[in-house]
Amino acid sequence: MPSPSPTIEPPHGPENPPTTRRALVRDSWAVGAATGVYGLSFGAVSVASGLSTLQTCLLSLVMFTGASQFAFVGVVASGASPFSGAASALLLGTRNTFYGIGLAPRLALRPARRALAAHVVIDESSAMAVTRPDTASVRTAFWHTGGSVFLLWNLATLCGALAGDALGDPRTFGLDAAVGAAFLALLWPRLGTATNRRVALVAAIVAITLVPATPAGVPVLVAGSVALLVGLLSPEEQR
């Protein structure tokens, strides 16, 4: 559901990575493909955790936020109450609220379309969209990334659920490393200011420190909040 408005094309060059509409669509679908494949492992893990194929597919269709989905089935698999699984999933989902706060003014959508857009507010669509220079390219990056992840993630979930453990591990193809590289590439252009570099460093250190101590997903949330606080308490930089 891309925006029909034309995109202003800045000159290409080392200082201006390609942001033509075509390049943006291609990059968005590349992120969608790299992320969507992980639906295979979600589908397989979910049925292995005791959920039905229908429940597994509903999680991808309706919850549609990967870390929360993994948290839900992970807690259910551990034998804990499904309600504590729901609590973990919702805790992780709060980061999408923050993404929405950043996205809403940049997307500038009418309420009806905003309600639809809210469904595809996830890590990838937010990261691809928030730094774009104009509304048209914010919308293009958002809808194409969100749409491609939604489509491919759900197809992959169904395949993973049906095939179960018979399928190969996406790790064989290094796709786990690709996701980290994609997040880094998205972070890279924002490391220009000292505050942002400090925030990034604090977030990475806090996240790594928390990994052994907290359930999966919590480190990102806590590290994000702590680093945000550090950034807000830092003095404003002269521009």
Partner 1 sequence: MNDSTTLWVALGIACVGAYLLKWAGMSLPQQVLDRPTARRAAALIPVALLAALVAVQVVASGTRLVLDARLAGLAFAVAALLLRAPFLVVVFGAAVVAALLRLA
Question: Taking the mean position of all CA atoms in its chain, how far away is CA 15?
Answer: 26
φ/ψ of 162, rounded to 5, equals -70, -40
Which residues lie closer than 8 Å to 79 by C-beta, 6 or more apart? none
Question: In this chain, which of 21, 95, 132, 139 binds partner 1, going by CB under 8 A?
Answer: 95
Where does this chain touch partner 1 (CB under 8 A) — which range of 57-65, 137-145, 151-159, 160-168? Answer: 57-65
Beta strand residue intervals within the chain, DSSP E: none
The DSSP-derived string for 95-129 is HHHHHHHHHHHHH---HHHHHHHHHT-SHHHHHHH
Question: Pick from 44, 47, 103, 138: which binds partner 1 (CB under 8 A)?
Answer: 103
Q: Using the rule CB under 8 A, which residue among 30, 159, 162, 167 binds partner 1?
A: 30
Per rule CB under 8 A, is residue 207 in the interface with partner 1?
yes
83 belongs to the binding site for partner 1 (CB under 8 A):
yes
Distances (CA, A) of 173 to 67, 148, 154: 21, 20, 20
204 lines the binding site for partner 1 (CB under 8 A): yes
Complex with partner 1: residue 11 or 105, whichever CB lies closer: 105
The window from 3-11, 135-143, 156-164, 175-183 that contacts partner 1 (CB under 8 A) reads: 175-183
CA atoms within 13 A on the CB side of 42: 29
- Alpha carbon distances (Å) from 86 to 59, 76, 93, 121, 141: 11, 9, 10, 19, 30
Residue with tokens 């919590």: 218
Residue 118 engages partner 1 in binding (rule: CB under 8 A)? yes
From 36, 39, 93, 160, residue interacting with partner 1 (rule: CB under 8 A): 93
Q: Does 164 bind partner 1 (CB under 8 A)?
A: no
Give the closest residue to 78 by CA, choosing from 49, 41, 48: 49
Q: Does 78 contact partner 1 by CB under 8 A?
A: no
Is 159 an interacting residue with respect to partner 1 (CB under 8 A)? no
Number of residues that bind partner 1 (CB under 8 A): 100
Smallest gap, in angstroms, from Cβ of residue 2 to partner 1?
18
Stretch that binds partner 1, among 54-62, 133-141, 148-156, 157-165 (CB under 8 A): 54-62
Residue with Cβ nearer partner 1 (5 or 16): 16
